[in-house]
Amino acid sequence: MKHLRYYIPAILWILLILYLCTLPGKDIPTSSFLDKIHFDKFVHFGLFGGIVLLLSLAIYWPKKFISATILVLLVIIAAAYGLAIEYIQKYWVTGRSFDMYDVVADTLGAIAGVWAFHIVRRRFLADKK
C-alpha cells in the first residue's frame, strides 16, 4: 500500500485517456490539415507510450528493478486497453468508430514506452558514481 503513490500519475493518465477517447465525435475538433497527416495516430502513439512509461516508472522506483517480463506484460496490457477503447468507441460512443490503425498506433506507442522508460532510467534514475 505504501507504494501506491508511485502509481497515481499512471492511474490519472489512464483515466485521462479513457475520458478523451470516449468524447462524442461532435466534441472533437477537426482540421483538414491534421486529418491529412493522420495526427490522431501520433496522439494515440504518445498516449499509450505514456501508459507504459508511467507504469514502468511506478514499478521501478521502489525496487530499482523491473524485469523484461513485466515490461512485455505492460505493453500487452496497454495494447489491450487500446483495443478495448476502440470497441467502446464502436458500440457506446456517439459519433465514434472502431479504427484498427488506432490500435496499431496504440501498440507501437506502448512498445516505444519501454524504450522511453530505458532512456529515462539511464539518464535520470541511474546511480551516480
pLDDT at 113 over 60: yes
Residue 53, C-alpha cell as written in the block: 512509461
pLDDT digits 0-9 by tens, 34-60: 777 789 999 999 999 999 999 999 999
Nearest to 62 by CA among 5, 115, 118: 5
Sketch the domain layout of the chain as residue ranges.
Answer: 4-23+32-125
Residue 32, C-alpha cell as written in the block: 483538414
Please indicate, yes or no, whether the overall pTM of this predicted structure exceeds 0.85: yes
